[in-house]
Structure 1
């Protein structure tokens, strides 16, 4: 085995080739899915305040460390448990997939959720990079090596006539 120090070796070439031609999700579907998910987060925060919170220093997903942890956990865990689909993505028929592995790991999902913060920097420019990247990847997609695709319905098995 010959060593090639300081030489880049791709480990994802077969995977990326297998994804060639996969239909990507539109920006509007992605935005609506994100909005649905943030509505769920805001609703949970409101219910928390009404039922559990004391009104002073209670849980807020948008202004506290515990809230930020909740947002990352929500996006990370729902993406992982939903096999690439948060509730919003499921409703809109889109799915996150890895461009480097067959399946999303929990770390991919958490890393992608953490990447939302990077996408929000500079007035959300990381989200708008969808329009300039050739594979429609935003900053958080590139951080986690993912793409968002239109979820294709699995075709029904073809019935064949038995040979006579």
Structure 2
């Protein structure tokens, strides 16, 4: 019986689905933390000075504050850890295009260029699906890439998927039995 080793995905370019999942988690975290922070500040303002923060009828102050919060969330997370909390939950890391650790300057450029990917109906994100390295416009501008990285643990594909891919490639694998 031929044993097919599990294929490793750590260090490979992240695909569209995992990047979208990380982005959705980041949006939920940004909106949830912003909402909780504003509610807390509103409560504090009502208790201390008797005024509410909810008197911003058009919402420009809230919109600017949310944009600043989202910028700080993304930039600080990338500059310190090379990943946002949402990316970390799905096992993604942002690295320099050559695979080295993300420097703070590239994190800043990537964060500032991110809105450009959303301009013109999100066409800047098309590279994630169309390009071999799955890099969006903001990745190309900043010289970054998003890869799978689960930290100290090696990320492996499930055994049946590894076997399927081996059959599709027509490869004959012989290896030691999987660890139990």
With structure 2 as the length reference, what TM-score do the two structures score? 0.65
Question: Deviations along 1:64-116, whole A, 9 cap, x unmatched?
Answer: 3332222111111111211x111111110111100257321212112111121
The structure with the greater share of residues assigned to helix is: 2
User: What is the Cα deviation at residue 155 of structure 1?
Assistant: 6.8
Q: Unpaired segments of 5 or more residues in structure 2?
A: 1-10, 43-52, 155-180
- Please point out which of 127, 145, 149 is paired with 1:129: 127
- Please point out which of 20, 36, 39 is paired with 2:25: 36
RMSD: 2.7
Aligned to 2:100: 102
Question: Deviations along 1:115-144, whole A, 9 cap, x unmatched?
Answer: 210011011111122122231110110111
User: What is the Cα deviation at residue 61 of structure 1?
Assistant: 9.8
Q: Are the counterparts in 2 of residues 72 and 110 from structure 1 also a CA contact under 8 Å?
A: no
Secondary structure of the corresponding residue to residue 149 of structure 1: strand
Q: Unpaired segments of 5 or more residues in structure 1?
A: 1-21, 157-164
Residues 133 and 62 (structure 1 numbering): CA distance in 2 closer, same or farther, change over 3 Å?
Answer: farther
Q: Map 1:33-112; keep pairs closer than 5 Å.
A: 33-53=22-42, 54-57=53-56, 64-82=63-81, 84-100=82-98, 102-112=100-110
Distance in 2 between residues matched to 1:116 and 1:62, nearest whole Å: 22
Higher relative contact order at CA 8 Å, sep ≥6: structure 1 or structure 2?
2
Pair member with larger Rg: 2
With structure 1 as the length reference, what TM-score do the two structures score? 0.71
Secondary structure of the corresponding residue to residue 75 of structure 2: helix
Q: Are the counterparts in 2 of residues 61 and 67 from structure 1 also a CA contact under 8 Å?
A: no
Residues 119 and 50 (structure 1 numbering): CA distance in 2 closer, same or farther, change over 3 Å?
Answer: same
Distance in 2 between residues matched to 1:109 and 1:78, nearest whole Å: 9
